Amino acid sequence: MNKIVYNFSAGPSTLPKQATAEAAAAIADFANTGIGIMEMSHRTRPVEGMVAEAESLLRELLSIPSGYEILFLGGGASLQFCMVPMNLLGSNASADYTDTGMWANKALKEAKKFGKVNVVCSSKESIYNHIPKNFEQTPGATYLHLTSNNTIYGTQWKEFPKANTYLVCDMSSDILSRPIDVSKFGLIYAGAQKNMGPAGVATVIVRSDILGKAERDIPTMLDYRTHIPEHSMFNTPPVFSIYVVNRVLHWLKNLGGVAAMEKINAKKANLFYDVLDNSKLFKGTAAKEDRSTMNIPFVFREDAIAADKKEAMEKKFLALAQEKGLEQLKGHRSVGGFRASIYNAMPIEGVEALAAFLGEFENLAH
Ligand SMILES: Cc1ncc(COP(=O)(O)O)c(C=O)c1O
């Protein structure tokens, strides 16, 4: 296709062109071996080296201290909703969970199957449009669980609370978008299919001294301690997905790392929020101080479009956007309207094109 297309999907989402081109080439011939990456055993030097390189690039990019292990596991972020409490939360112990969105809620529901869950705050009543502040932690809770970026509602923890013990965080939709202080976290997990690579692999960064404390017989594959000594190769890992992660990490390093990425992300997000804040037709749905740099939900202003015309106008907006190569802008059903996901790999030109289109549509609508 010759048309320029910008993909604003919330996930799987746009990846750096360089990384997908390298992945396409490696499907035919990986590392000059004459064998495609999907056809090669994980017990070979080129694959082992590639996975080790992905691990060390991630360690470098996020300044992951010693004492932390990096794993690439199957099952997505959703499997981590159960692996985390299964490994960390004793059946007589409790953990604090923050209820900041649908994914956070799924994580806490799953944790209830393994121990006591204290929901220390929730913004559910206001359709998760903000991050609750000033909540109390429970004395003796094993960990405090956060979702750093709420993909559906476009809210993001700008500062992480200090946990009484350690933080556990689902960073699926903003990992590698900004520098973080890993030492505040006992465990970080993220599905790859937003900022890291394709679906099929989840990254886990875990401080090894927190493991082995929940007295429970953990199935072998679900025990982090199975995978650590095997460097994610206890069984056949999702090699192709990890390869794409490897290429994305190279791309990010060449760009200047997460500090440079944070600046670019701020520029892209500010550009788009400015358009929303100055629009008579559109408005953002998230509380200003908690606005995400990754996912921007927006809707028509109630005073601009009559309720009975809204659905037809939304359809028109999405159809015209698609004609212009601006894809996947439909909002999640729980928020309605539209959502622009502008992850690391979304070029600023994509955000500029979308901003210009909003202006054109506004003129058309008035
Ligand atoms: C914040 C967050 N957590 C978890 C998930 C679920 O990830 P997976 O589909 O890899 O299980 C998503 C998916 O969009 C997400 O945005």
Angstrom distance (rounded) from CA 192 to CA 195:
6
3.40.50.720, 3.10.580.10, 3.90.1150.10, 3.30.450.20: which CATH number matches 257-365?
A: 3.90.1150.10
Pocket test for ligand 1, best of 72, 79, 103 (most atoms within 8 A of CB): 103
Tell me if 77 CB under 6 Å of ligand 1: yes
> What is the per-residue pLDDT for 223?
98
pLDDT digits (tens, 9 = 90+) for 320-358: 999 999 999 999 999 999 999 999 999 999 999 999 999
Matching fold, domains 17-255 and 257-365: no
* CA 325–ligand 1 middle distance (angstroms): 26
Tell me if 246 CB under 6 Å of ligand 1: no
Residue 119's pLDDT band, with cuts at 50, 70 and 90, is: very high
Q: Does 3.40.640.10 match the CATH number of domain 17-255?
A: yes
pLDDT digits (tens, 9 = 90+) for 50-90: 999 999 999 999 999 999 999 999 999 999 999 999 999 99
Tell me if 170 CB under 6 Å of ligand 1: yes
Q: Is the pLDDT of residue 366 over 80?
A: no
Query: Domain-by-domain residue ranges, the chain?
Result: 17-255, 257-365
The model's pTM is 0.98
Q: Which atom of ligand 1 is nearest to the CA of 147?
A: 1
CA 41 to the chain's CA centroid: 29
- Per-residue burial over 50-84, b if 16 or more Cβ lie within 10 Å, else e, is bbeebbebbbebbebeeebbbbbbebbbbbbbbbb
Catalytic residue among 96, 99, 103, 174: 103
Q: Which atom of ligand 1 is nearest to the CA of 191?
A: 10
Mean predicted lDDT score pLDDT of the chain: 97
Pocket test for ligand 1, best of 105, 145, 173 (most atoms within 8 A of CB): 173
Q: Is the pLDDT of residue 127 over 90?
A: yes
Pocket test for ligand 1, best of 102, 108, 151 (most atoms within 8 A of CB): 151
Tell me if 345 CB under 6 Å of ligand 1: no
* CA 201–ligand 1 middle distance (angstroms): 11
10 Å Cβ neighbour count for 274? 11
Residue 225 sits at φ, ψ, to 5 deg, of -70, -15
- Does 253 participate in catalysis according to the annotation? no
pLDDT digits (tens, 9 = 90+) for 203-241: 999 999 999 999 899 999 999 999 999 999 999 999 999
Q: State the pairing for strand pair 144-147/94-99.
A: parallel
The answer to whether the beta carbons of residues 355 and 275 sit under 8 Å apart is yes
Tell me if 151 CB under 6 Å of ligand 1: yes
- Does 103 participate in catalysis according to the annotation? yes
pLDDT digits (tens, 9 = 90+) for 85-100: 999 999 999 999 999 9
pLDDT digits (tens, 9 = 90+) for 144-164: 999 999 999 999 999 999 999
Alpha helices in 89-131 (DSSP H): 102-111
Tell me if 172 CB under 6 Å of ligand 1: yes
Q: Which atom of ligand 1 is nearest to the CA of 76?
A: 10
> What is the per-residue pLDDT for 215?
87
